[in-house]
Structure formats: C-alpha cells, structure tokens
Amino acid sequence: MNDTTTSAAGNQGTLDDPASIDRNDPEAEVGRRAKAYRNWGRWGDDDVLGTLNFIDEAKRIEAAALVRTGQTVSLSLPFDMDGPQKGWRRRTNPVHTMLDTGTDAEAGNQGFPHGIGGADDVIAMPLQCSTQWDGLGHIFDHGQAWNGRRSGSVVTSDGDLVTGIEHTADVLVTRGILLDVGRYLEPESGELPDSFAITGDHLAATAASQGVEVRRGDIVLVRTGQLTRALCEGWGEYAGGPAPGLSLTSAGWIHDSEIAAIATDTWGFEVRPNEFDVEAFQPLHQVAIPNMGLMIGEMWKLDELAQTCLGEGRWEFLLTAPSLPITGAVGTPVNPIAVF
C-alpha cells in the first residue's frame, strides 16, 4: 500500500519508507498504519481468527503436496530452566518438578500392587516463555482488541472470553516458508546485527533471492540469526534487549501479502530498540495483533530448518504449529514441525 502522507516533521513519505517515520511521534505513526491496515469486520463481527481465515482446506491440500521425503524438523527451543527469561513482566523459565520417581518405585512406597511403579511430573511456566504464539487477546490498541471490541470485555481475570487461544487449536496447519534474511543480507555470518530493522523490501528481496513466492494463507518464518548468536554466546539481553527484527514499516508488506501468521527467531519479533527517539514499546505488535488480526510467533528455532531448506533446495514445506487449547489463554507454547 502506498498511502502517501505528510508526517509531523513535514516530510513527504510512504508508510513503507523508514525514512518517513517521525521518530518523535510513535502514537501518530502507529495510528497511520493501524488505520491503513485494519481488518476489522473483514470476516464478520463475530470473528475470532483474524488472518488465520486465509487458511482453508484448499490451502492445506496445497501444503500437504509439499511432503516428498517425510523429513521433519522441530522449530522449538527446549522448555527448561536454561531458557532466556529473566523475570521481566513475571516471565520466568519453565520449572519442571517430579512428583513420582524411579527412586520412589524402588522404595516401594507408591502404594501400587504387584510391583508396578511409575513416574509423574508437573511443569510451571508462563505461556510465552519459550517458543510460542501471541494470540489475538495479547495486545490492545487504545483499549480496543481485535475486531474493534473493548479490551475490558474481551480479556478479564477469567481469561480471554472471546478470542481465547483454544479457537486456533485446529487451524495452524498450512504452507510454511522460510525467509532467511540473515543469510541473504549477511552471507558471511548469516546473522543480522542487533537493532537492524527488516523492511518489506528486505522480505521481498529475500523471497526473490530464494526463488520462493509468498502466497495467501502462508505462515512466514523470518530468520535473523540472533538466536544463532545467543545459543553460541549466551542469552545475554536476548529477552527484551537490542535485537534485529521487523520494522514498523513492514506492516504494509505483511498486510498486502495476506499471510496467515508470521514468526521469527527473536524474543520480540520486531526490531529493538523500536524505531523512535522517544519512549515506545512494540509498535508493530500494536498494529498487527489488534488491528490486522495477525498472530505472531517468537523464539522459533530456525537454524536446522535453514540448513534443511538449503539441502533440499526449496524454502517451502508443510508446517504444523497448533496451539495448546488452553481455554481463555492469550498465548501458547508450541512445538512447530516442518515436514519436507
């Protein structure tokens, strides 16, 4: 979309041009894109799926035809205490506790007959502490949730009463494509530097270089290489610190491509620090989730996938990444599987 406007600084520019961002007015810049790319009402007043509506039976049949070798690749980080979280916004790494063990069985104190024993365990974790989806109830824009609903009537202390993640449990199976922007822009290292803003032009150029076409209903995976660096050097400030990621100006490419969802190998999906000289926080989330109706994946492990794509000579695959049907949740852990 080429909605040409005049910024507060008096400069002509387009919504997909980073140079046109008024770096002192994030509210106006978010507002311009929210208005331009808003999908409210597109699938009816009662819609709970947003852009996942682009995935239909025909799309899944198309995706299933990509399975040729049967090779599978998990795109999930481990869910354990060695993850990246540091407690910000009460996000901690998973805590795994054994309730019954082999030691208990050996001691014969489990109370079972004829020598049978067993092990049981429990895990406590925030739903967005490792590889995960942001649901449609995760982010609001000026008190409004997806499809123009009042945020206070959507998400309460009882959870997301309208767009809970359970509605997506059987939807997220479609054609996946990997855009290895890190390797395209930094062929020697394969890693974008922190604070690098990925534009729509970067995404389009990466797709062209790989010979892959982005189509309606795809889930697009964007590899920056930041996770590669973190796994090698240590988590450092990975959770919330500086990172390469999607520019606010990529919103037009995302919207016009009619993709079903998008995910990256970074903690926060979008470039950090965000593209402003005054206080701002995750402006692309504010455009994408409540206005576009777009689910966002974060902390997806994409290195093995990238190597597999190189070996296969193709960047498309069947992708299954279903949500856990946790009633009323606004996010979900996920173990995405790419099938070749």
Answer yes or no: is 248 within a domain: yes
Q: Looking at the domain assignment, is residue 12 inside a domain?
A: yes
Q: In CATH, what number is assigned to the domain containing residue 64?
A: 3.50.30.50
pLDDT score for 85: 97
The residue assigned the tokens 């999930």 is 76
What pTM, to 2 d.p., does this model score? 0.94
Identify the pLDDT of residue 14.
87
Number of domains in the chain: 1
Query: Does the structure show a pLDDT above 80 at 77?
Result: yes
- Structure confidence by residue, pLDDT tens digits, 199-217: 999 999 999 999 999 999 9
Lowest mean pLDDT across 5-9, 104-108, 318-322 = 5-9
Express each pLDDT in 116-169 by its tens digit: 999 999 999 999 999 999 999 999 999 999 999 999 999 999 999 999 999 999
> What domain range includes position 335?
5-85+126-339
In a domain, 105, yes or no: no
Task: From residue 138, give the alpha-carbon distance in Å to each of 52, 62, 83, 102, 274.
Answer: 16, 30, 22, 40, 19
Give percent above pLDDT 90 in the chain: 95
- For residue 150, is it within any domain? yes
Residue 96 covered by a domain: no
Examine residue 94 and state whether it is found in any structural domain, yes or no.
no
Assess if residue 24 is contained within a domain.
Answer: yes
